Amino acid sequence: MKKIAIQGFKGSYHEIAAKQYFGTEIHLVERDSFINLFKSLDDGSADMAVMAIENTIAGPIIFNYSLLSNSPYSIVGETFLRIEHCLMALDGQSLDDIHEVHSHPMALNQCIRFFANYPHIKLVEAVDTGLMAQEIANLQIKGRAAIAGVGAAKSFNLSILKHNIEDNTKNFTRFLILEKNKIKIPNANKATISFGIAHEIGGLHRVFSMFSENNINVMSLQSTPFVGNAWEYVFHLDIAFDNDTHFQKSKQWLQNNTINFKILGEYVNGI
C-alpha cells in the first residue's frame, strides 16, 4: 500500500484529490503544513505526495513553487478537483447562530461574496478544512461553522447549513503528484520548469519567442523572489508540447541561455 503525504486531514480536499488520483487503497500521511509534507518525503514516512498548487478563484500558491524549486523531488502527475464548499455546523443551528467560521485561507478566499451578506460572522484562518470540521464535532462547539466538502460533514456528523458557497461554480484546484525519485513518465506532454534571466531588455521575450518557434504552449507563468539577490526573480512555467524533439531542443536552449534552469517535472497533462 503506497504511503501518500497530504497537506490536511480526514475530510480535506487533499484527501479527496489523493484518492481521485491513486484510488482508495492508499495509506494517507497527514501533515499540517506544506513544509511538513516535504519533510515526510525527506524522512521516508511517505513515498509520494499530493500538493495543491493553484485554484481557479484564489490563484496560485506561490510559496509552494518555492518549496518545489528548492527540493530534489519531481512532479510525475497532476489531478484537477472540482471544489464544492459547504458551510457546516452542529445539528440544530442556523446561519443566525453562527458567529465564527474557521477554515483554510484558500477556502475562505473562495467564499468572500457569500460572507459579505453575513457581516456578523468572523472569518478565522486555520490549517485545514477537514480538521476544523472535526474540531467542531469533537468539542461540540456551538456558534462556529467550518467550510469543507460534503464528505467532511458526513465523516463528522455535521449539518450542512449551505451548499456551494464558493464565489464561482467553476472552482477547481490543481494538485501536483510528487515522487521522491526522478522517473521517466511514458507519453509525457507537459512539464514544469524554473529559471532566472539576466537583467536586460527583451530577456523574457526571447524565451517566449523560442517557445513559439518550437510549438511549445506556455500554460502558466509565476515568479518568486531570487533569495539573496534583491529584485531578481525565478520564473516558474507550465508548458505543454506535442513533439518531444521540439521539447528537447527547447530544454537545450534554456540550459544555455537562462540562469539555474531546472526541470521540476515531466508528466502527462491532466486536463
Write the single-letter amino acid at 97: D
CA max distance for the chain: 65
CA atoms within 13 A on the CB side of 13: 27
Give the rounded distance of the alpha carbon of 33 from its chain centre: 12
Cβ contact 3:47 at 8 Å: yes
DSSP tag of 203: H
Annotate 218-240 with b (16+ C-beta within 10 A) or e (fewer): eeeebbbeeeeeeeeebbbbbbe
> Per the structure block, which three cell numbers stand in for 207?
524565451
Collapse the DSSP code of 198 into the 3-class scheme (helix H, G, I; strand E, B; otherwise coil) and give the result.
coil
Catalytic one among 9, 34, 114, 175?
A: 175
Residue with cell 477547481: 172
> Per the structure block, which three cell numbers stand in for 101?
467560521
Collapse the DSSP code of 189 into the 3-class scheme (helix H, G, I; strand E, B; otherwise coil) and give the result.
coil
Catalytic one among 34, 114, 115, 173?
A: 173
DSSP tag of 23: -
Cβ contact 193:237 at 8 Å: yes
End-to-end CA gap in the chain: 27
- 175 in catalytic set: yes
Contacts (Cβ under 8 Å, ≥6 apart) of 203: 197
Active centre residues (catalytic): 173, 175
